[in-house]
């Protein structure tokens, strides 16, 4: 037995305690009501680096519009990005589209059933492959995300900062995964990390693993990179429509060569972040990766917009009827929503 293996009695007890706890305490989330591999794939990709609360409505809207992999494969990319708007990390949506097209070209109606085959597809890493294979297809493979790593490190009293800890965690997860119920078991560990074994102030008194746990509290973890702060400003220019009853808003498309959010539409950036008080429409806070932005939004007339903004991409006046269907950046969607320029259902 290696130094990080558990005795068989402990493995059996941990599995039983976790599954019983999960059956009684799991959150009722829409992707837990299905065994459709496609729907589980969509949820797993959306949940990467995104909060559950932010995903729920996007997940429902996405599946309503693209109910299966064939419909996703045949959709224009801009439609997919429009439904992804607000979730961030748009590369995920593009990779899903690519994978769907690859599956369709090969003449398959769905995703392959094994973690090894899933892993070979674009945008599907070890974690996502293991999650889909175990939850949708019942393959006994373990998954290790941040929650699982934290739970298992605490369970075993391991220092998460040590160089070989990740390897030990993966070995332990593989030893623990339940051979008959791998999907529920994997979700149980992740759920425990999400609602009980929290990064700060874990709720050890409610934990089904406390009898086995060698830490029972916070443990040493690697420090996160500090958040930076930045101040920026954008122009909100709205005019009456020449063609129809609705107004139009001026948007700018980010260049395809941009490393972040290429091809998405945003409000034109102002040259100067100091907005005259009389022109300040609103100030919003917005976070992208490790930067917290304070964003000033200036109401702009169409005559001065070119003088006060930095033209960095293709600009276009977009009808307010159409704007909700555009692939907007999360910030643009937030501002247009707060300015009541999006239909209620699209905010």
Catalytic residues: 44
Q: According to the binding rule CB under 6 A, does residue 154 interact with ligand SF4?
A: yes
From the list 141-149, 167-175, 203-211, 298-306, the region that binds ligand SF4 by CB under 6 A is: 203-211
- Smaller CB separation from ligand SF4, 159 or 228: 159
Q: Which is nearer to ligand SF4, 99 or 215 (CB)?
A: 215
**Stretch of residues binding ligand SF4 (CB under 6 A), selected from 21-29, 117-125, 199-207, 279-287:** 199-207
215 binds ligand SF4 (CB under 6 A): yes
Please identify, using beta-carbon distances, which residue of 119 and 216 lies nearer to ligand SF4: 216
- Interatomic CA distance for residues 138 and 183, integer angstroms: 6
Please pick, from the candidates 210, 286, 338, 347, the single residue that binds ligand SF4 as defined by CB under 6 A. 210
- Number of helices (H), then strands (E), in the chain: 13, 8
The single residue among 82, 121, 197, 305 that binds ligand SF4, judged by CB under 6 A, is 197
Stretch that binds ligand SF4, among 16-24, 34-42, 209-217, 264-272 (CB under 6 A): 209-217
The answer to whether 231 and 293 are in contact (CB under 8 A) is yes
- Asked if residue 204 binds ligand SF4 (CB under 6 A), the reply is yes
Structure tokens at 23: 């059956």
Q: How far is the CB of 266 from ligand SF4 (least distance, A)?
A: 41
Q: Does 334 bind ligand SF4 (CB under 6 A)?
A: no
CB-based contacts of 22-29 (< 8 A; 24+ apart in sequence): 22/184, 22/187, 22/188, 22/191, 22/192, 23/184, 25/191, 25/195, 26/187, 26/188, 26/191, 27/52, 27/191, 27/195, 29/56
Between the alpha carbon of residue 58 and those of residues 51, 133, 239, 285, 316, the distances in Å are 12, 23, 30, 21, 26
| 8 Å CB contact between 251 and 267 | yes
Residues that bind ligand SF4 (CB under 6 A): 151, 154-155, 196-197, 202, 204, 207, 209-210, 213, 215-217
């Amino acid at each position: 037995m290696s130094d990080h293996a558990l005795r068989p009695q402990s493995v059996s007890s941990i599995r039983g305690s976790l599954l019983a706890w999960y059956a009684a305490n799991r959150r009722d989330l829409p992707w837990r009501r299905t065994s459709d591999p496609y729907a589980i794939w969509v949820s797993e990709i959306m949940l990467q680096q995104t909060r559950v609360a932010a995903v729920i409505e996007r997940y429902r809207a996405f599946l309503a519009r693209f109910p299966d992999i064939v419909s996703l494969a045949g959709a224009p990319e801009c439609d997919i990005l429009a439904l992804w708007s607000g979730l961030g990390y748009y590369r995920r949506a593009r990779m899903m589209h690519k994978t769907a097209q690859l599956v369709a070209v090969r003449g398959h109606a769905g995703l392959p059933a094994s973690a090894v085959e899933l892993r070979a597809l674009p945008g599907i890493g070890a974690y996502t492959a293991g999650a889909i294979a175990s939850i949708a297809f019942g393959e006994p493979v373990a998954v290790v995300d941040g929650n699982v790593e934290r739970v298992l490190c605490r369970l075993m009293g391991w220092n998460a900062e040590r160089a070989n800890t990740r390897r030990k965690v993966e070995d332990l997860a593989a030893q623990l995964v339940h051979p008959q119920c791998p999907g529920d078991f994997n979700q149980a560990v992740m759920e425990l990390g999400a609602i009980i074994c929290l990064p700060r102030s874990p709720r050890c008194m409610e934990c089904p693993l406390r009898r086995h746990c060698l830490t029972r509290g916070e443990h040493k973890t690697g420090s996160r990179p500090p958040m930076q702060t930045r101040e920026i400003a954008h122009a909100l220019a709205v005019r009456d429509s020449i063609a129809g009853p609705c107004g139009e808003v001026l948007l700018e498309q980010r260049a395809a060569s941009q490393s972040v959010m290429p091809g998405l539409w945003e409000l034109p950036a102002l040259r100067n972040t100091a907005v005259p008080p009389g022109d300040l429409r609103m100030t919003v806070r917005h976070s992208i990766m490790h930067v917290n932005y304070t964003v000033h939004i200036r109401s702009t007339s169409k005559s001065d917009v070119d003088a006060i903004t930095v033209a960095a991409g293709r600009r276009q006046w977009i009808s307010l009827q159409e704007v909700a269907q555009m692939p907007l950046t999360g910030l643009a969607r937030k501002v247009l929503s707060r300015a009541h320029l999006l239909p209620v259902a699209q905010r």
